[in-house]
């Protein structure tokens, strides 16, 4: 055994990794003290909690100071040299009618044309959005199916909501077969399921729940592979990182926090708390170096993971309703936000300006996603419909020049 002989000073600086044994726990916090004498005194729970809170607040301030030190320029300043985008016109190309109630969630299939959507009345429908044909329909045993996801292979869909579960339905080729018969319960939470997503394969599902946790599940066995604790309230959304190492994801919750997690260890590796209300939606920037969030505070924000801070806010005084759902265009230049005032606002990510406001839905927009190849985006609404939209007329004035330049008349 090598004798490591630190002197007392070093020991005290290592305090963060040791816990004095008189851990008088209240709730899920270990009483943590920087003064060893505390461990030998009679501890009043309230007094220590106050100390802890004070210490926590001091640290948070220090953290913000550290973050601010490296913030030498704003995004819109750097973006001054980039051309403006002018006004965009987006057109609805398909309207999918068939749900009998509020559409709550949707997801695209990797084949770039199929969609799964779920609604308040428990119905989950698989569409070929291109032809607008309904291909499959399942009735869940619960209402408010808040989450649905398409499997990467295109052979199954996952969904869940008030049943506190996430179930996987293999998509049968036999149109007459009852999909519900083959249903497989995978995830079990202690509160509603708010979001779900397959990871790189059909074999694992990531879920977030009203019980304040996220979890990673093995589809085949239903086993819990990893759970993620750290949100102080309901977790409402999640998104997987498109990074090289493919091991992280971000979640947003009612505690106004967006947390970045390591899937392997279950640790929260970064946390951002600048929103003023619930975070309804999080989505990674295509490069994986940043993510956007949409919140009930009527703003969307961009957070850079390397700078470890918020770098842009997308807001307007005229926008006073919450953003329910966000997604980027393929190049990351545009940010689409679906809002509770029935509109979709399209933002220039770099300049921070709004380039388009889209009407059409007759109730809240609850979900919004770009198609896998970026050719269109789909929005789902409480007005029972889904709309697939993309760019309308591109005039020569606003079109960027390039080697593959072409226009649409």
Question: Which member of 44, 86, 177, 229 binds another protein (CB under 8 A)?
Answer: 229
Minimum CB–partner distance for residue 194 and another protein (Å): 19
Residue 350 is encoded by which pair of tokens?
A: 């770099």
Please, which of residues 78-107 interact with another protein by CB under 8 A?
78-79, 81-82, 91-95
DSSP SS3 for 57: helix
Question: Which member of 101, 121, 135, 143 binds another protein (CB under 8 A)?
Answer: 135
Q: For residues 25 and 345, what is the distance between their CA atoms, to the nearest angstrom?
A: 47
Question: Which member of 9, 181, 306, 396 binds another protein (CB under 8 A)?
Answer: 306
- With 0-12 / 13-18 / 19 or more C-beta atoms within 10 angstroms meaning exposed / middle / buried, residue 188 is middle
Minimum CB–partner distance for residue 281 and another protein (Å): 19
Pairing of strands 365-370, 377-381: antiparallel
Q: Which stretch binds another protein (CB under 8 A): 117-125, 160-168, 184-192, 305-313?
A: 305-313
Minimum CB–partner distance for residue 171 and another protein (Å): 5
| Residue closer to another protein (CB basis): 101 or 172 | 172
Q: Is 397 in the site for another protein (CB under 8 A)?
A: no
Strand partners, 77: none
Question: Which member of 115, 124, 171, 292 binds another protein (CB under 8 A)?
Answer: 171
Which residue pairs, CB below 8 angstroms and at least 24 apart, start in 171-176? 171/126, 171/135, 171/136, 172/136
Q: Is 164 in the site for another protein (CB under 8 A)?
A: no
Question: Which member of 9, 42, 73, 176 binds another protein (CB under 8 A)?
Answer: 73
* Contact call for residues 171 and 126 (beta carbons, < 8 A): yes
Question: Which member of 289, 313, 341, 363 binds another protein (CB under 8 A)?
Answer: 289
Please, which of residues 14-43 interact with another protein by CB under 8 A?
16-23, 25, 28-30, 32, 36, 39-40
Q: For residues 136 and 129, what is the distance between their CA atoms, to the nearest angstrom?
A: 12
Please, which of residues 188-217 interact with another protein by CB under 8 A?
199-201, 203-204
Nearest to 198 by CA among 161, 138, 238: 238
Helices (H) and strands (E) in the chain, counts: 3, 28
Q: For residues 405 and 401, what is the distance between their CA atoms, to the nearest angstrom?
A: 6
| Residue closer to another protein (CB basis): 237 or 312 | 312
Question: Which member of 9, 42, 72, 181 binds another protein (CB under 8 A)?
Answer: 72
């Amino acid at each position: 055994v090598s004798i490591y002989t630190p002197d007392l000073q070093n020991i005290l600086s290592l305090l963060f990794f040791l816990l004095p044994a008189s851990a008088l726990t209240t709730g899920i916090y270990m009483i943590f003290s920087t003064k060893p004498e505390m461990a030998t005194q009679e501890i009043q729970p309230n007094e220590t909690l106050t100390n802890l809170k004070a210490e926590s607040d001091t640290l948070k301030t220090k953290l913000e100071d550290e973050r601010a030190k490296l913030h030498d320029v704003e995004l819109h300043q750097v973006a001054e040299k980039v051309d403006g985008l002018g006004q965009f016109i987006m057109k609805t190309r398909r309207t999918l009618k068939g749900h009998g109630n509020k559409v709550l969630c949707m997801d695209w299939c990797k084949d770039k044309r199929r969609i799964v959507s779920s609604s308040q009345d428990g119905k989950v429908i698989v569409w070929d959005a291109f032809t607008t044909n309904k291909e499959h329909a399942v009735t869940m045993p619960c209402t408010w199916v808040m989450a649905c996801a398409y499997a990467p292979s295109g052979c199954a869909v996952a969904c869940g909501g008030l049943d506190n579960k996430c179930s996987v339905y293999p998509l049968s080729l036999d149109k007459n077969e009852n999909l519900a018969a083959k249903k497989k319960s995978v995830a079990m939470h202690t509160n509603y399921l708010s979001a779900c997503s397959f990871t790189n394969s059909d074999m694992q599902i990531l879920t977030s729940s009203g019980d304040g946790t996220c979890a990673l599940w093995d589809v085949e066995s239903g086993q819990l592979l990893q759970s993620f604790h750290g949100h102080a309230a309901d977790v409402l959304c999640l998104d997987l990182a498109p990074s090289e190492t493919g091991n992280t994801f971000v979640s947003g919750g009612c505690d106004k926090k967006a947390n970045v997690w390591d899937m392997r260890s279950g640790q929260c590796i970064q946390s951002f708390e600048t929103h003023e209300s619930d975070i309804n939606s999080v989505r990674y920037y295509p490069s994986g170096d940043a993510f956007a969030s949409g919140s009930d505070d009527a703003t969307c924000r961009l957070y850079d993971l390397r700078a470890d801070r918020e770098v842009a806010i997308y807001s307007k005084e005229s926008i006073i309703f919450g953003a329910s759902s966000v997604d980027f265009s393929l190049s990351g230049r545009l940010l689409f936000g679906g809002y509770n005032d029935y509109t979709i606002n399209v933002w220039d990510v770099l300049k921070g300006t709004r380039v388009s406001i889209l009407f059409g839905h007759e109730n809240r927009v609850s979900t919004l996603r770009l198609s896998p190849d970026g050719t269109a985006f789909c929005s789902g609404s409480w007005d029972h419909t889904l709309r697939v939209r993309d760019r309308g007329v591109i005039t020569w004035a606003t079109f960027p020049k390039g080697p593959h330049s072409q226009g649409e008349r």
